[in-house]
A and B are shown apart, each in its own frame.
Chain A
Amino acid sequence: MPDADSIGSAPPSGAAVVSGVLREVAERLEALAERGECGVIDLKSLPLSDSHLQQLRERLGRGEVSAQLEILGPSEIWETRYPGVWWVRHLGVTDLVAAERIEITRVPDILSAALPDVVTAAQSLNDDLALYATTRRERTDHGRT
């Protein structure tokens, strides 16, 4: 079967799109620096072949932070060589890419715990502690008799 990537990409030419994406990243990064505005670029909506994505990844490089997430399938996030520019890749079924985007932000939202989850967590930790205390008491009670 022919490899989709070796055969050429759909118009417009991918190389032009790669440099276009990089220019947009630079613009948004400036906006973040000056006005604190966050931005996102959806890579899947652009006519980029795998080799163009590879090019883009190489141009942006890897920085200090990277994270593996396990949420309804694996996800990968890393900060690029340019702080504030994050590569976010979500995989779905059978490790196929469900969403791939560049986020221009201090930290991607998905990394921080959301308030509803924190509320639930506080509740469940308290429940766990109570349960632990109960079982310990029961065990000690059993030990005495």
Chain B
Amino acid sequence: MAEPETIGELLSERGISRRGLLKYAAYLASLMALPPWQSNAIADALAAARRQSVIWLSFQECTGCTESLTRSFSPTLENLIFNLISLDYHETLQAVSGEAAEQARRSAMRDNKGKYIVVVDGSVPTRDGGVYGTVAGQSMLQILNDTAAGAKALIAVGTCAAFGGIPHAQPDPTGAVPLTSLIKDKPIINISGCPPIPEAMAGTIAYLITFGRLPDLDHLNRPKSLFGNTIHDRCYRRSFYDKGLFAKSFDDEGARRGWCLYELGCKGPVTYNSCATLKWNGGVSFPIQSGHGCLGCSEPNFWDKGGFYHPLSTPTGHPTAAVGAAAVAGIGVGAVSALLARRAKREATSTGEKP
């Protein structure tokens, strides 16, 4: 039998009816904040589209992003995404290894020149020519530049690829940078989070396949539909914040009653992500619902923002030395100027002038 040309044919071959695609389209429209009446058109577009060639590059990362995306195993709606793409290279998931794996990447790049999507998780080490991260004898920096050259678009999944993340955190020994610092001539979508919400990754890829263009992005290149609101804005504990009811420790009465976690360092008010609405593990819960404040993992430099348990309204630095020095200097200047005044008075008195 001939290779299926379109996603519709492929799904039909795999026993998934057009109804399945309609259902997926309804889910996708809701996820990506598309007009709900467009779901029929989305299903048609997906059915007629070719499978999207995807090359997944893993750089300075922990594989948590891949874990997140592949976490649900059952052949269900959320996993339909794996029928929409042809994952041509992914070091963790592909069966082949060594030279055969690199060959797969090169042939995908050749066969789909200008049409493939590059997904990157992990930041790119740039210090000392990028020697701190190599795959198959090539630096990650080199691999990225080579692979991105023929790509249609790049998706940076995870905070490391999007903003540098943990490798970029102080003292940043490898000179880790995000994709946007290196690739200037291709569209880049950032799906930040540590890890990102799986639906956010899958939904964005599906959007690209369906419409052939980028979704609306915010100033940090993140899809507005998923990163348009703060955690705080959609948090079910918000009413307690408004009433001024705060948990003071993780095991006090307020914590048990589910009061706001602002005082325990929750970064929800300044963190843009969909955790409060999409939630995690297929919608079971999210950190705040489990009793822990938001770490702000989908924001740039979240690791270096003065501590996860320090409330947002507090200063991040403890300039004890500077303040101490300022006090000493103030006392010194005050004392000297007072002494000068005393001397001036004494001289004035001794010369007979009235003070």
Give the interface of A toward B (CB within 8 A): 1-2, 4, 7-11, 38-42, 44-45, 47, 49, 69, 71-73, 75, 88, 90, 92-94, 96-101, 109-110, 114, 116-117, 120
- B210 on interface, CB distance cutoff 8 Å: no
Which chain B positions have C-beta within 8 A of A99?
23, 26-27, 29-30
Q: Counting chain A CB atoms within 10 Å of each CB, which of B37, B233, B283 scores highest?
A: B37
Contact of A40 among B8, B20, B27, B36 (CB under 8 A): B36
B239 to A, closest residue via Cβ: A8
Q: What are 7 pairs between A and B in contact, CB < 8 Å?
A: A10-B233, A40-B39, A69-B19, A71-B19, A75-B23, A99-B27, A116-B12
Instruction: Report whether B17 and A114 are in contact in the complex, using a CB–CB cutoff of 8 Å.
Output: yes
Find out whether the CB atom of A4 lies under 8 angstroms from the CB atom of B80.
no
| Cβ-based interface call for B326 (8 A) | no
B291 at interface, CB cutoff 8 A? yes
A125 to chain B, nearest CB (A): 15
Cβ A90 vs Cβ B77 within 8 A: yes
Q: How far is the CB of B69 from chain A (nearest CB, A)?
A: 13
Q: Which of B232-261 contact A (CB under 8 A)?
A: 233-240, 257-258
Kindly state the separation between the CA atoms of A73 and B8 in the bound complex, as whole angstroms: 19
Would you call A1 and B236 a contact (CB within 8 A)? no
Q: A10-B233, A114-B17 are in contact. List 11 more A-B contacts (CB 8 A).
A: A4-B236, A7-B239, A10-B235, A11-B238, A42-B29, A71-B20, A72-B20, A96-B283, A98-B27, A99-B29, A116-B47
Give per-residue flags for B1-16: 1 if the beta carbon is below 8 A from chain A beta carbons, else 0: 0000000100010001
CB distance A92 to B27 under 8 Å? Answer: yes
| B18: Cβ under 8 A from any A Cβ | yes
**CA of A11 to CA of B238, assembled, Å:** 8
For B39, the closest partner residue in chain A by CB is: A40
Inter-chain contacts of A2 with B (CB < 8 A): 257-258, 289
Interface size on B, residues (CB 8 A): 45
Establish whether residues A109 and B40, one from each chain, have CB atoms under 8 Å apart when the complex forms: yes
Complex Cα gap A116–B22 (Å): 13
List of A residues within 8 angstroms of B78 by Cβ? 92-93, 98
B72's contact among A45, A75, A93, A114, by CB below 8 Å, is which? Answer: A93
Interface members, chain B 206-250 (any A CB < 8 Å):
233-240
Q: Which of B19, B33, B240, B289 is within 8 Å of A117, CB to CB?
A: B19
Is B302 among interface residues, defined by CB-CB distance under 8 A? no
CB pair B19–A97 under 8 Å, yes or no, is: no
Residues in B with CB closer than 8 Å to A94 are: 282
Interchain CA distance A109-B20 in the complex, whole Å: 12
A109 to B147, CA, bound (A): 42
A72 touches B236 (CB 8 A): no
Beta-carbon contact of A73 and B283 below 8 Å = no
* Chain B residues near A114 (CB-CB < 8 A): 17-19, 22
A103–B126 CA distance with the chains assembled, in angstroms: 52
> Of A42, A49, A96, which contacts B30 at CB under 8 A?
A42
Name the distance in Å between B352's Cβ and chain A's nearest Cβ: 77
Contact A4 B233 (CB under 8 A): no
Among residues of A, the one whose C-beta sits closest to the C-beta of B278 is A44
| Complex interface: chain A residues within 8 A of B75 (CB) | 72
Contact A38:B289 (CB < 8 A) given known A72-B20, A90-B77, A99-B23? no
The 8 closest A-B pairs by CB, nearest first: A2-B258, A114-B18, A40-B36, A42-B36, A8-B239, A92-B77, A96-B283, A99-B26
Interface-central residue, A11, A97, A110, A120, by most chain B CB under 10 Å? A110
In the complex, A10 Cα to B76 Cα: how many Å? 30
Contact B76 A109 (CB under 8 A): no
A49-B235 Cα distance, complex, nearest whole Å: 12
A contact residues around B240 at 8 Å (CB): 7
Q: Is B313 an interface residue (CB 8 A)?
A: no
Q: Across the interface, do A117 and B17 meet the contact criterion of CB distance under 8 Å?
A: yes
Per the 8 Å Cβ criterion, residues 278-294 of B in contact with A are 282-285, 289-291
Report whether A7 and B258 are in contact in the complex, using a CB–CB cutoff of 8 Å: yes
B residues less than 8 Å from A8 (CB atoms): 236, 238-239
**Is the Cβ of B26 less than 8 Å from the Cβ of A93?**
no
Kindly report which residue of chain B lies nearest to residue A116, judged by CB atoms.
B18
Q: Which of A7, A38, A45 contacts B236 (CB 8 A)?
A: A7
Kindly name the residue among A2, A49, A73 whose own CB sees the greatest number of chain B CB atoms within 10 A: A2
Q: Which of B39, B236, B257, B283 has the most CB of A within 10 A?
A: B236
Does B24 sit at the interface, judged by CB under 8 A? yes
